[in-house]
Structure formats: structure tokens, C-alpha cells
């Protein structure tokens, strides 16, 4: 998709399709008003007939509107003018793109970024516009066969060029900065989605390592991949315990983006990279087990975020650490009752082999210490309990440092990729007591997402740390099954805010 910024009058644009907003009760936005005037009241007349009421997300495609140079006009409902907020704005942009993309137009000019939304400037509106467009046109069809590809050749080509209009020439510069940012985040989200959607027989730990190497080559990052012998030397007994049940060799991927001041402490992102989670010997039930290919979405979000910040050239030092392996049942797999010794020296009684995410993350958190981090954020599809607590709208946020938690919450708000601060009191730690080791890897059914976070906190004592449980937000199930690319927007915004501060 090719994007550009322009400042011009709607009635003078020559394009396959113009996109303008209409508020509820048929009130025209100012760009719609301009088209209405140029067409001798054509829009007002159509709306009077009752074809569109302006409800957020509704659309109406008009052809051959008199007095215009463009072939089509897409009217997009915005909801009540007073209530136009981030959510309605994104909804309107999404509906517009879906409609234009299937109508036969290959280029369009959007006037939606001209709308005013409380608390947000033109750069934000353009960035969000670009992000929502890229999200809406995303497709994953690389695994479809020839017949499906032939069929696709007959369908409308879809939109290739989108111009985002701004009201004044003074808006062009900030709009271009917003566009660059939106495109970078869009690219990061797409990468995260692709990696998540790939089948687990393709997206193995080795594949993820290769992707990390390719990304560092194309985007100027440093990369290092540790193999089993090196991890053995480091004493990563917990991570390697999980990995021992799989034929696929485990990898520890370390990415570095060094665009901050020399000596500036890095922010470290740690992503859970279980490329398939069968549960191991504590085998999961069969229903929907295919979705456990998404158990590497934390890892994918780290790679996606590094792609985004590299494309933005963000002046910050950042390290990405990805422990990746499969969780399989096997003659050599770990058993319930096994005791593992983590890299930190703490021992862990494995009471359930399906609580494997924390077992690989704990060694990665210990490994993170060597970077003397300013902060560490881990991202993981960690617990089904988090889905029960928060559903699919919010990621769970846990932290040992309130200021860091507030930063991440604010980044989630700004990026419209929100999280919710969950409690992580000492009181819960007792649920991890073990009769045989320093701790157990599960804490019972009650507060499952909290006890998982408590487990991780025992390995994150040496720095400011936060944990994002993305089990409910990283992918969608059902008819729209697919990766969401979350929380790449949150993480990128978090790093952008940090880079602006120093």
C-alpha cells in the first residue's frame, strides 16, 4: 500500500474514490459539505432519502456525483458529533477501507483525518488512520493452493494508493511524521500477524531464529542466536527442561537496536516463543488445540516491535530476548514431579507441564540481567485464567514498579491497544509453595494469571519489570480466526515515549 499526504479541496480531487464523513442525524462533516456544495446539494438529497443515517461504521457508496472530478464518493458514518472518540474514529476508518477495498477502486483520497477528536493532534490521527488501513487490508493467504489464487485474480484488485488529506498546509509536516510512524507500526503488526498465523510445522524455533536474522540484516539490528550447548553452559535448566520433549532444537534469540546514546541503559523486551503448546505430558484436551500455534505471539510481538522501531529510527537502546521451543509430550519430556534448576539457581517443582511459559521465561529474565536494563517488559500468552479475567479486549499488566506500569498503561491508551493493571500482592506468593523445591510452577486454580506473574516476579527482582499477559488479545478465535499483532502498537508507543524523554 502506497500512502501520501496532501492538502487540497475535496471537490477538486481526481481519484477513484473520495472518503468523507457524515455524523449521525445526517449532519455533514466539512469535507462532505464541500462536496455537497460542488454537486448542487446531491449529498443532502441522497441522505434525505434515508440511505445513510450516520451511525458509526455505516457506509454508502455513491457513483457519478455531479460536479466532481472523482468517480466515486464513499460516505462514512461517524456517529454523534459530540461523541466522536478514538473508537468511533477507528471504526469509521476501518469501515471505509473495507468498503473501498472491495468496490473496484484502486486509489482513494480520505478526508477522515481532518475530523477533530478530543486530545489528539493531526499526527496521531494520521498515524492511526494508516495503522487501521494496514490492519484492515491485511491478508494471510500464503498457505492457500493454486485454485484459491486463481479465484483471487478475478476479484477486485483492492486499493493500492491512499492519500490522506489534511486541512491546512501547516498540517502537512506533522501529518507526514504521523504517517511514517503509522506505517512503521503497521509493518510491525503485519510481521507479528504473519508469524502468529503461520502453521506450527513451518514456524518452528529455528524459523523464528532465521526470521530474526533476516530482520536484523534488513533493518540494521544486531542479532545473536544461542543453541542448546550454550544454554546448557549458562545453566538454563528450566528452559531446557521444557525443550527436551521436542525434536525441534530450542533457540534463544537476542536482538539489539542501538540507536540511543552510548551507555544509555536499554529497555529489554522478553517474548514467550512456544511455537506449539500441546501441554506436554499434562496434555491439553483436543478442542481448539490448533490455536496453541499462537503460543509464540509474545515472541512475534517483540520481532514486530523491533521492526517498527527500526523503521522509525527510534533514538533508544533496546534489547529483545526470545526463548523459543516447543512443548511436546515425548519419552524424554519432563514429567509432573520433576524438579528443574533454573539459571538463577532457584529450583522449581514441575506440577503441571502445561505451565511451561513461565519455565522458559524465568531463564530469559535471568539472562536479561547482563544488559543492566533500565526496564524489562515480558510479553506472553501465559494463562487461560487471564482470558477469563479480562476477555479479549485488554491485556493483563503486572509489575513490580508502579511508575513503569503507568507508562505502559498510558502507551496502551495512546496506541489504542489497551492493558489493565492487575494486582500482584505478596499475599499470592504462598500459593507457589512446594514441599520439594524452592517453588512449584503452578499455584492452583484461584487467581491463575496472578500466580503466574508472581512466579515470574521471583526472577525479576534486580530491575524494574512488567509482564503483559496477552493470552486474550494476541489472536481471535472463531470465524475471524487470526493473529491481531497486539501488543506491537502498545510496545512501540512505550518505547517512543521513552525515547522522547531522554
User: Quick one: which of 184, 377, 404, 442 contacts ligand BES (CB under 6 A)?
Assistant: 442
> Which of 471, 495, 362 lies closest to 422, judged by CA?
471
- Residue whose CB is less far from ligand BES, 31 or 353: 353
284 is catalytic: yes
Binding-residue pattern over the window 455 to 474 for ligand BES, x denoting contact by CB under 6 A? ----------------x---
In the set 27, 259, 265, 284, the catalytic residue is 284
Distance in Å, CB of 159 to Mn ion, minimum: 40
- Residue whose CB is less far from Zn ion, 219 or 476: 476
- Residue whose CB is less far from Zn ion, 307 or 358: 358
Interface residues with Zn ion (CB under 5 A)? Answer: 274, 277, 295, 357
Is 245 a binding residue for ligand BES by CB under 6 A? The answer is no
CA 42 to chain centre: 41
User: Quick one: which of 110, 197, 383, 499 contacts ligand BES (CB under 6 A)?
Assistant: 383
265 is catalytic: no
Distances (CA, A) of 159 to 3, 11, 183, 186, 480: 11, 21, 16, 16, 21
- Residue whose CB is less far from Zn ion, 295 or 378: 295
The window from 24-32, 91-99, 236-244, 379-387 that contacts ligand BES (CB under 6 A) reads: 379-387
Is 448 a binding residue for ligand BES by CB under 6 A? The answer is yes
Binding-residue pattern over the window 289 to 328 for ligand BES, x denoting contact by CB under 6 A? ------x---------------------------------
Give the binding-site size for ligand BES (rule: CB under 6 A).
16
The residue with its CB nearest to Zn ion is 277
The residue with its CB nearest to Mn ion is 354
Is 384 a binding residue for ligand BES by CB under 6 A? The answer is yes
Q: Using CB distances below 5 to 8 A depending on partner kind, what does residue 46 bind out of ligand BES, Zn ion, Mn ion, none?
A: none
- Residue whose CB is less far from ligand BES, 16 or 277: 277
Q: Using CB distances below 5 to 8 A depending on partner kind, what does residue 383 bind out of ligand BES, Mn ion, Zn ion, none?
A: ligand BES
The window from 312-320, 352-360, 417-425, 432-440 that contacts ligand BES (CB under 6 A) reads: 352-360
Helix 172-197 with 297-312: angle, nearest 10 deg: 150
> Which of 70, 225, 45, 241 lies closest to 163, judged by CA?
70
Q: Are 407 and 495 in contact (CB under 8 A)?
A: no
Is 385 a binding residue for ligand BES by CB under 6 A? The answer is yes
Is 352 a binding residue for ligand BES by CB under 6 A? The answer is yes
Q: Are 6 and 62 in contact (CB under 8 A)?
A: no
Is 194 a binding residue for ligand BES by CB under 6 A? The answer is no
Interface residues with Mn ion (CB under 5 A)? Answer: 277, 354, 356
In the set 272, 358, 458, 498, the catalytic residue is 358
Q: Are 304 and 485 in contact (CB under 8 A)?
A: yes
- Residue whose CB is less far from ligand BES, 67 or 199: 199
Distances (CA, A) of 441 to 44, 158, 245, 274, 458: 64, 49, 17, 17, 12
Which phi and psi angles does 99 have, rounded to 5°? -70, -45
> Which of 125, 272, 114, 140 lies closest to 208, judged by CA?
272
What span, in angstroms and rounded, lies between the C-alpha atoms of 192 and 303?
A: 7
Q: Using CB distances below 5 to 8 A depending on partner kind, what does residue 20 bind out of Mn ion, ligand BES, Zn ion, none?
A: none
| Grid coordinates belonging to 195 | 508469524
What span, in angstroms and rounded, lies between the C-alpha atoms of 498 and 210?
A: 29
Q: Are 435 and 348 in contact (CB under 8 A)?
A: no
- Residue whose CB is less far from ligand BES, 194 or 354: 354
Give residue 449's region: left, alpha or beta (phi > 0; psi -120 to 50): alpha
- Residue whose CB is less far from ligand BES, 136 or 387: 387
Q: Are strands 339-341 and 347-349 parallel, antiparallel or unpaired?
A: antiparallel
Q: Residue with C-alpha cell 485454485?
A: 147
User: Quick one: which of 114, 326, 354, 363 contacts ligand BES (CB under 6 A)?
Assistant: 354
What span, in angstroms and rounded, lies between the C-alpha atoms of 40 and 203?
A: 57
Q: Are strands 17-23 and 27-28 parallel, antiparallel or unpaired?
A: antiparallel
| Grid coordinates belonging to 499 | 525515547
Distance in Å, CB of 295 to ligand BES, minimum: 5
Distance in Å, CB of 272 to Mn ion, minimum: 10
Collect all residues with Cβ–Cβ distance below 8 Å to 408 and sequence separation of at least 6. 377, 397, 399, 419, 466, 468, 490, 494
Distances (CA, A) of 353 to 329, 350, 359, 365: 9, 6, 9, 20
- Residue whose CB is less far from Mn ion, 171 or 469: 469
The window from 110-118, 160-168, 233-241, 350-358 that contacts ligand BES (CB under 6 A) reads: 350-358
Q: Are 362 and 339 in contact (CB under 8 A)?
A: no
Is 356 a binding residue for ligand BES by CB under 6 A? The answer is yes
Distance in Å, CB of 290 to Zn ion, minimum: 14
Which phi and psi angles does 298 have, rounded to 5°? -65, -45
Q: Residue with C-alpha cell 480520505?
A: 110
Is 277 a binding residue for ligand BES by CB under 6 A? The answer is yes
| Grid coordinates belonging to 140 | 494471510
Question: Which residues would be at the binding site for ligand BES (CB under 6 A)?
Answer: 277, 295, 352, 354-357, 381-385, 387, 442, 448, 471
**Which residues are identified as catalytic?**
284, 358
Amino acid at each position: 500500500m502506497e500512502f501520501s499526504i496532501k492538502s487540497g479541496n475535496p471537490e477538486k480531487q481526481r481519484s477513484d474514490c473520495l472518503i468523507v464523513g457524515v455524523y449521525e442525524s445526517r449532519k455533514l462533516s466539512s469535507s462532505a459539505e464541500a462536496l455537497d456544495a460542488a454537486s448542487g446539494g446531491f449529498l443532502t438529497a441522497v441522505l434525505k432519502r434515508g440511505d445513510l443515517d450516520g451511525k458509526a461504521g455505516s457506509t454508502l457508496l455513491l457513483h457519478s456525483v455531479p460536479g466532481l472530478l472523482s468517480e466515486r464518493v464513499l460516505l462514512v458514518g461517524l456517529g454523534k458529533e459530540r461523541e466522536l472518540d478514538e473508537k468511533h474514529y477507528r471504526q469509521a476508518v476501518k469501515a471505509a477501507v473495507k468498503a473501498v477495498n472491495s468496490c473496484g477502486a484502486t486509489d482513494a483520497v480520505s478526508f477522515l483525518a481532518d475530523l477533530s477528536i478530543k486530545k489528539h493532534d493531526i499526527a496521531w490521527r494520521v498515524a492511526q488512520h494508516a495503522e487501521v488501513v494496514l490492519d484492515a487490508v491485511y491478508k494471510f493467504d500464503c498457505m492457500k493452493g493454486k485454485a484459491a489464487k486463481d479465484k483471487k485474480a478475478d476479484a477486485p484488485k483492492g486499493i493500492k494508493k491512499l492519500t490522506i488529506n489534511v486541512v491546512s498546509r501547516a498540517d502537512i509536516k506533522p501529518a507526514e511524521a504521523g504517517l511514517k510512524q503509522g506505517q512503521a507500526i503497521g509493518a510491525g503488526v503485519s510481521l507479528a500477524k504473519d508469524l502468529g498465523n503461520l502453521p506450527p510445522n513451518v514456524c518452528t524455533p529455528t524459523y523464528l531464529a532465521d526470521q530474526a536474522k533476516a530482520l536484523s540484516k534488513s533493518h540494521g539490528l544486531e542479532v545473536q542466536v544461542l543453541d542448546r550447548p550454550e544454554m546448557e553452559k549458562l545453566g538454563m535448566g528450566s528452559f531446557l527442561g521444557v525443550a527436551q520433549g521436542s525434536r525441534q532444537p530450542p533457540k534463544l534469540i537476542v536482538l539489539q537496536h542501538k540507536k540511543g546514546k552510548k551507555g544509555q541503559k536499554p529497555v529489554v523486551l522478553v517474548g514467550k516463543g512456544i511455537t506449539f503448546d500441546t501441554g506436554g505430558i499434562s496434555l491439553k484436551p483436543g478442542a481448539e488445540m490448533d490455536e496453541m500455534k499462537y503460543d509464540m505471539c509474545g515472541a512475534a510481538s517483540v520481532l514486530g516491535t523491533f521492526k517498527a522501531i527500526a523503521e522509525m529510527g527510534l533514538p533508544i537502546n533496546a534489547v529483545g530476548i526470545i526463548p523459543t521451543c516447543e512443548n511436546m509430550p515425548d519419552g524424554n519430556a519432563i514429567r509432573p514431579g520433576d524438579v528443574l534448576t533454573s539459571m538463577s539457581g532457584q529450583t522449581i517443582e514441575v506440577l503441571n507441564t502445561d505451565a511451561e511459559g513461565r519455565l522458559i521465561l524465568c531463564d530469559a529474565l535471568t539472562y536479561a540481567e547482563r544488559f543492566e536494563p533500565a526496564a524489562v517488559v515480558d510479553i506472553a500468552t501465559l494463562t487461560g485464567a487471564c482470558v477469563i479475567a479480562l476477555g479479549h479486549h485488554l491485556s493483563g499488566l503486572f509489575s513490580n514498579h508502579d511508575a513503569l506500569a503507568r507508562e505502559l498503561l498510558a502507551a496502551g491508551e495512546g496506541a489504542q491497544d489497551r492493558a489493565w493493571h492487575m494486582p500482584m500482592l505478596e499475599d499470592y506468593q504462598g500459593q507457589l509453595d512446594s514441599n520439594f523445591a524452592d517453588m512449584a510452577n503452578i499455584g492452583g486454580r484461584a487467581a491463575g494469571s496472578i500466580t503466574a506473574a508472581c512466579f515470574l516476579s521471583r526472577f525479576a527482582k534486580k530491575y524494574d519489570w512488567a509482564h503483559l499477559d496477552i493470552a486474550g488479545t494476541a489472536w481471535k478465535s472463531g470465524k475471524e480466526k487470526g493473529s491481531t499483532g497486539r501488543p506491537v502498537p502498545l510496545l512501540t508507543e512505550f518505547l517512543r515515549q521513552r525515547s522522547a524523554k531522554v
